[in-house]
Structure 1
Amino acid sequence: MRLYATPTSPYARKVRIVLAEKHLPYDLEWVDLRSADHPAKSVNPLGKIPVLVLNDGTPVYDSSVIVQYLDLAHPEPPLIPTDLPGRLRALRGEALADGVMDSTITWVMEQRHSSECQDGALLARMRTKVITALSMLQAQVPQWQDKDKADHLELPEIAAIAAIAYVDLRAPEFLLGFADLMAWYQRMRHRPSIADTAATA
């Protein structure tokens, strides 16, 4: 398998952690999304990453679809429960973490405009969304306390790690006031699947 990604994409980070937790071999190819003809465009008409190309050439995108494919195709260890309540909990947790990523990226892109061109209302909305979602993630910490030593992680924790790491990279001020969440995140950073997929830029 070949994964097209960028070093700082939280969505690609989520997929890379899943691949590491499942001990699946793959080739990693970094993509420059600013390039008009970057290679991911040949396998994803939207030109977005991550894209996982299977051994038979089939492309799989986006990150949520990739994760579900990997868990079905390689069910051990299971990252998404098979029972309906457990599956709903896992996918809802992923959706919450992905929302943190989405809102943080929107905030970052707006911040890159010159100050006179920034939409202050948009920035405030995105910040509120991230802070509200981080509060919900922090409420999960008591259930996740020993996950750094677990045999394998499940999807909600994987997605949360990818989201928190991206906020820490791009908007660390949003994490002020979330001491329990950050303490858990700092412990989880030493797990091999997380340490080995840390952003390189």
Structure 2
Amino acid sequence: MKLIGSLTSPFVRKVRIVLAEKKIEYDFALDSPWTPETNVPNINPLGKIPVLVLDDETVLFDSRVIAEYLDNVAPNNKLMPAQNRERTEVKRWEALADGLCDAAALIFLEKKRPAKEQGADWIARQESKINRSIDYMSEHLGENGWCTNTHFTLADIATGCALGYLAFRFPEITWGEKHPNLARLYAKLMLRPAFAETVPQG
């Protein structure tokens, strides 16, 4: 299979970490939909990354769809519980983390526009989403060792990718100082090779 994506996208990083944790071999093709020469829209009609091309040429897109597929296709190191309530909890953490990343990416893109064209209210609205999401993560993590308390899951992968993206693009957001429990979680995640080897670059 082949993964198409960039070295900076938190959504691509999430899939790369899932692939590594599941010990699935794949080819990695670098491409970004924001470059003039991109081929992404020809593969994914939404023009977004990541994109996973299976061996039979089936194309999967959206990191949540890809992550769930990968967890089901390989039985080792399960990242999502089978039970409905526990599984829903993991998916809720993933949705929260992905939403945080969406808001952060929108701010990043908006700030690349000329200063006079930037929407201050729009940026403030996205910043509020980020701040509320961080507070919510911290509150619900509490003193637990992992997002869902008992063991490492996709919830931790998604949350770690979100926090890592903030550290990469918005170091001025000092979430670790305000929320030591999130800082401890991220430090523990960074001890895993899958996280350490996929730190955003660019």
Fold match (TM-score > 0.5): yes
Q: Secondary structure at the match of 1:199?
A: coil
- Aligned partner of 2:179 in structure 1 is 178
Determine if the alignment matches structure 1 residue 164 to structure 2 residue 163.
yes
- Is the 8 Å Cα contact of residues 130 and 174 (structure 1) preserved in structure 2? no
- Aligned partner of 2:118 in structure 1 is 118
- Is the 8 Å Cα contact of residues 32 and 40 (structure 2) preserved in structure 1? no
- The change in CA–CA distance for 1:137 and 1:114 in structure 2 (over 3 A counts) is same
Aligned-CA RMSD value: 2.0
User: Once superposed, which parts of structure 1, at least 4 consecutive aligned residues long, lie more than 3 Å away?
Assistant: 34-37
- Aligned partner of 1:79 in structure 2 is 79
- Aligned partner of 1:128 in structure 2 is 128
- Is the 8 Å Cα contact of residues 147 and 156 (structure 2) preserved in structure 1? no
Report the CA distance between 1:37 and its aligned residue: 4.7
- Aligned partner of 1:12 in structure 2 is 12
- Aligned partner of 1:69 in structure 2 is 69
Determine if the alignment matches structure 1 residue 109 to structure 2 residue 109.
yes
TM-score after normalising by structure 2: 0.90
Structure 2 unaligned segments of length 5 or more: list them: none
Report the CA distance between 1:138 and its aligned residue: 1.7
Report the CA distance between 1:163 and its aligned residue: 0.4
Percent sequence identity over aligned pairs: 35
Report the CA distance between 1:144 and its aligned residue: 2.5
Aligned length: 198
Separation of aligned partners in 2, 1:146 and 1:39: 36
TM-score after normalising by structure 1: 0.91
Separation of aligned partners in 2, 1:145 and 1:41: 36
Report the CA distance between 1:32 and its aligned residue: 3.3
Task: Output one character per residue of 1:149-184: Cα deviation in whole Å (capped at 9) or x when no partner.
Answer: x9x831110000110010111112223422331232
- Is the 8 Å Cα contact of residues 22 and 77 (structure 2) preserved in structure 1? yes
Q: Secondary structure at the match of 1:174?
A: coil
Separation of aligned partners in 2, 1:122 and 1:61: 27
Separation of aligned partners in 2, 1:36 and 1:194: 30
Q: Secondary structure at the match of 1:172?
A: coil
Report the CA distance between 1:142 and its aligned residue: 2.0
Report the CA distance between 1:116 and its aligned residue: 2.2
Separation of aligned partners in 2, 1:146 and 1:97: 11
